[in-house]
Copies of this chain bind each other. A is one copy, B any other.
């Protein structure tokens, strides 16, 4: 492909907009790392007889040479060679490193996530910044969360900047997008999953909850599981306004990440990381020797 003005190229470029993505049900994975994670998931799904994820890979001849594993087609993906100007016209980034993939959106229904019996879920409540959303998704993956949910009014997780910020994690865990908050609460309650609100003004201190969980882990483990060790969904709020009254009202506990210095608040991505890791630590199996 040599013509950056071709209809096909414009179709791909439209995935840079929310309406373009919604219409096509697709999104862009840019650069070798994202494409690699996409093909990995594609191979895994098709091996299980499921639908693939990667629709097309477009690569410059130079990128095709540099990343032979990505264009081998061994994962059953189709690769098209394209001139650098074509890749540039398709991509959202200035430097897409010569390779991009058009992927099917990988969202699932909320019911599917709940049915799998998740122990740790990250919920983005009207988070607006794609970089923050991507950072939370990546942190959720790192902390071993089972799923990520966005409520209606949240940024699109398939926004190119959000996808980049996940550094491949968007292909790692189930996502439910644009869920109505009331529905989510009902589903979580019915499944016995606790709801924790990350709230700078919360009356529970995350460090005290962690101390409780640590005492339980290091002790004889008798009695009720500490709050952080139970199956939980964390609610993370809008950057400017935080969680609203109905979101806070739905939570079993409003938990504040303590601020030890002069900072008045934490970035939502940073707060989410600390909260999700606190749950991961409290939930992980006891080290051998303690059982």
Contacts and interface: CB of A to CB of B under 8 A. Distances in A.
Interface stretch (A15-23, A136-144, A175-183): A136-144
Nearest to A283: B260
A264 B138 CA distance: 10
Interface stretch (A67-75, A79-87, A91-99, A267-275): A267-275
A207 to B, nearest CB: 5
A142 B173 contact: no
A126 interface: no
Instruction: Bin the interface of chain A by size.
Output: 35 or more
Contacts of A140: 261
Contacts of A135: 267, 269-270
Given A143-B261, A172-B261, A211-B214, A270 B267 contact: no
B138 A263 contact: yes
A217 B210 CA distance: 12
A215 interface: yes
Interface string A263-289: 111110110011001001100100100
A154 B214 CA distance: 37
Contact of A261 (B173, B207, B210, B274): B173
A16 to B, nearest CB: 19
Nearest to A217: B211
Nearest to A136: B270
A135 B284 CA distance: 28
A262 interface: yes
Nearest to A269: B270
A138 B266 contact: yes
B266 A172 contact: no
